[in-house]
Amino acid sequence: MIGYQFMGKAHSHAYRDLPFFFGTEIKPVLRAVSGRKEEAVKDAAEQMGWESYETDWRKLIEREDIDVVDIVTPNHTHAEIAIAAAKAGKHIITEKPLALTLEEAREMLQAVKENNVKHMICHNYRFAPAVQFAKKLIEDGKLGHIYHFRANYLQDFIMDPEFPLVWRLKKEVSGSGALGDIGAHSIDLARFLVGEITEVVGTMETFIKERPAGEMAGGLKGQADNSEYGEVTVDDAVAFIAKFESGTLGTFEATRFAGGNRNKNKFEINGEKGSLRWDMENMNTLDVYFAEDEAGLQGFRTISCTEEEHPYAGAYWPPGHIIGYEHTFIHLIHEFLHGITGNVQPAPNFEDGVKNQAILEAVERSSNSRKWETVRN
């Protein structure tokens, strides 16, 4: 694993808990973690249960006792590391967004294909049992034709103007702001549940233009170093409308300026026969509405997706005994490792990452041109 902070913790936990809950014959061995600062990476290795550490990711990729490379570093590093790992014949899992640009994303896809390794991108929210169940309801035709996909991904962790100019706020490191950081997850949910997006029109806004220098300090905290101020070069918020291949109309909003919303990743889907809605902050439940329900009893009802019928839920506790954010990563890594051992390409993968990146790129183009833009797949 390369990187060891917020996502490093989420992924390390997933490798450790996978065999515990799923009783699978696949037992990941946490061979080595890599980071640039020796003391910090040594501590991280001890805390998160990695056998050894490296201070240069290139050394980790050269090691013959490693089969899988997990990339949990900022976005500008994904392409270089993934392409090197593919050339070294390692299977790769990388955090989202896949890359900084569509071009880089395509190069990454080409590298994994040429070297015939398995690949996955970490859109973990697909793996909430309630979202998987929503997918099943849609595939079973319970909603009929889908008219609307409506997503908001709302956070508020950078609202303080003194929150530092961390890597997430620099275009050359992150590619984009709210759009690629959280909007990319909504786009993945849309593609997973409804299908491909062909055209978009949108706008991006940066509310706070300058911030003090500083670094991320674990989770979504920032540590300011007030010596100098620098320019924010990414969007604080984005809103866009999308047309799907299926004729569905999509509306998306992603912002880190929605005070009081810590990680409000929500969607609602309206079809000819019913509607579904989900909210990450109540991730175990799915609201469903079916037009065929008896008159007088119609309305949204809330299902606790903790039953055997709900994907992955049976691996844990009795019904009603809920699971959390970290479990979405266990499920994703379950698919990844089974893909490797069963020689099946899991999803979402770099192909999905490229399609997602093409939508991010089209939204940015539209924000600049102030026109509808075609998604360049």
Ligand X SMILES: NC(=O)c1ccc[n+]([C@@H]2O[C@H](COP(=O)([O-])OP(=O)(O)OC[C@H]3O[C@@H](n4cnc5c(N)ncnc54)[C@H](O)[C@@H]3O)[C@@H](O)[C@H]2O)c1
| Contacting residues toward ligand X, per CB under 6 A | 3-8, 35-36, 57, 72-75, 77, 95-96, 122, 124, 181, 216
Residue nearest to ligand X (CB): 5
Nearer to ligand X, 38 or 245 (CB): 38
**Minimum distance between the CB of residue 217 and ligand X, rounded to whole angstroms?**
8
Q: Decide: residue 319, CB within 10 A, 0-12 exposed, 13-18 middle, 19+ buried.
A: middle
Which secondary structure element, helix H or strand E, spans residue 368, and what is its range? helix 350-369
Nearer to ligand X, 3 or 346 (CB): 3
**Minimum distance between the CB of residue 54 and ligand X, rounded to whole angstroms?**
11
**Minimum distance between the CB of residue 308 and ligand X, rounded to whole angstroms?**
27
Nearer to ligand X, 75 or 356 (CB): 75
Q: 201, 253 in Cβ contact below 8 A?
A: no
Nearer to ligand X, 57 or 244 (CB): 57
Nearer to ligand X, 40 or 303 (CB): 40
Nearer to ligand X, 257 or 290 (CB): 257
Nearer to ligand X, 188 or 287 (CB): 188
Report strand pairing: 32-34 vs 52-54.
Answer: parallel
Nearer to ligand X, 56 or 114 (CB): 56
**Minimum distance between the CB of residue 67 and ligand X, rounded to whole angstroms?**
21
Helices marked H in 49-141 = 57-62, 78-87, 102-114, 129-139
Distance CA(171)–CA(178), nearest Å, equals 11
Is cis: bond before 129, omega within 30 of 0? Answer: no
**Minimum distance between the CB of residue 211 and ligand X, rounded to whole angstroms?**
16
Tell me the HSE value of 261 on the side-chain side, using a 13 A CA sphere.
15
Nearer to ligand X, 252 or 289 (CB): 252
**Minimum distance between the CB of residue 49 and ligand X, rounded to whole angstroms?**
16
Rg of the chain over Cα atoms, rounded to whole angstroms, equals 21
**Minimum distance between the CB of residue 7 and ligand X, rounded to whole angstroms?**
3
**Minimum distance between the CB of residue 72 and ligand X, rounded to whole angstroms?**
5
For residues 5-18, one letter each, b for 16 or more C-beta atoms within 10 angstroms of the residue's C-beta and e for the rest, the string is bbbbbbbbbbbebb
Q: Decide: residue 129, CB within 10 A, 0-12 exposed, 13-18 middle, 19+ buried.
A: buried
**Minimum distance between the CB of residue 328 and ligand X, rounded to whole angstroms?**
8
Q: 357, 102 in Cβ contact below 8 A?
A: yes
Describe the chain by its helix, strand, coil percentages, rounded to 5.
Answer: 40, 25, 35
Q: DSSP letter string over 294-321?
A: PTTS-S-EEEE--STTSTTGGGSSSTT-
